């Protein structure tokens, strides 16, 4: 079994449970997101360019865990207790869970978290960009608020141009994107992940 970076694991595992949310519009339920059929296995594909507002590659928010696994067609490592309602899974190519992880709640795929510049968000946002660049890319669809835990840091919440899905970018106190996530409400707004 792979050893995971202790701080990253602790953050993701501590994140599964409280479901505390930031202020957000009225939440949609997981069931309201239709699961599109998957057409290609993704486990061995190049991870670049697969991020979408409504999922990742052929994986769509709302898919149940078995449909997700069939579409992924590769090894996934589950993080968190086996009986947890909310948990993460990481693909084989991930070195630490803070780089990239898929969130499941109630047995359905609801969000993915990215902490590496290797992935580009829908619309062009990336880890390392300045907040001004995020605002320029997403315009009026990007709402800004203070970060709950990091003094001077900000959170940018971006709604999809059409359809389902939301992006959230977190910046540090210097205004640089440190991580981002895509998902559906209410899970996209869980500040501590599954927390």
Q: What pLDDT was estimated at residue 132?
A: 96
Q: What pLDDT was estimated at residue 43?
A: 36
Residue 16 belongs to some domain of the structure: yes
Rg (CA), the chain: 15
pLDDT band, residue 4 (cuts 50/70/90): very low
- The total number of structural domains in the chain stands at 1
pLDDT above 90 for 33: no
- The CA angle 19-83-40, to the nearest 5 degrees, is 85
> pTM for the whole thing?
0.76
142 SS3 class: strand
Structural domain of 172: 6-27+35-189
pLDDT above 90 for 144: yes
Residue 74 belongs to some domain of the structure: yes
Tell me the C-alpha to C-alpha distance, in Å, between residue 113 and each of 39, 97, 119, 188: 23, 9, 10, 9
156-167: average pLDDT: 91
Largest Cα–Cα separation, the chain: 45
Burial of residue 66 (CB within 10 Å: 0-12, 13-18, 19+) is exposed
Distance CA 176, CA 26 (A): 28
45-70: average pLDDT: 86
Residue 194 belongs to some domain of the structure: no
32 SS3 class: helix
pLDDT above 60 for 15: no
User: What is the CB-side half-sphere exposure of residue 45 using CA atoms within 13 A?
Assistant: 16
Residue 1 belongs to some domain of the structure: no
């Amino acid at each position: 079994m792979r050893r995971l970076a202790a701080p990253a694991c602790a953050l993701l595992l501590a994140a599964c449970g409280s479901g505390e949310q930031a202020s957000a519009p009225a939440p949609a339920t997981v069931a309201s997101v239709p699961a599109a059929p998957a057409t290609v296995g993704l486990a061995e594909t190049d991870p670049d360019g697969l991020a979408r507002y409504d999922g990742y590659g052929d994986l769509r928010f709302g898919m149940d865990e078995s449909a997700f696994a069939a579409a992924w067609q590769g090894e996934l490592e589950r993080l968190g207790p086996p009986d947890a309602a909310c948990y993460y899974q990481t693909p084989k190519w991930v070195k630490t869970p803070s780089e990239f992880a898929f969130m499941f709640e109630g047995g359905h795929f609801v969000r993915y978290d990215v902490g590496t510049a290797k992935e580009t968000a829908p619309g062009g946002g990336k880890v390392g960009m300045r907040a001004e660049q995020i605002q320029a890319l997403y315009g009026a669809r990007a709402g800004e608020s203070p970060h709950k835990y990091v003094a001077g840091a900000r959170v940018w919440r971006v709604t999809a141009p059409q359809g389902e899905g939301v992006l959230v970018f977190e910046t540090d106190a210097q205004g640089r994107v440190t991580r981002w996530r895509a998902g559906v409400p209410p899970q996209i707004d869980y500040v501590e992940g599954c927390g």
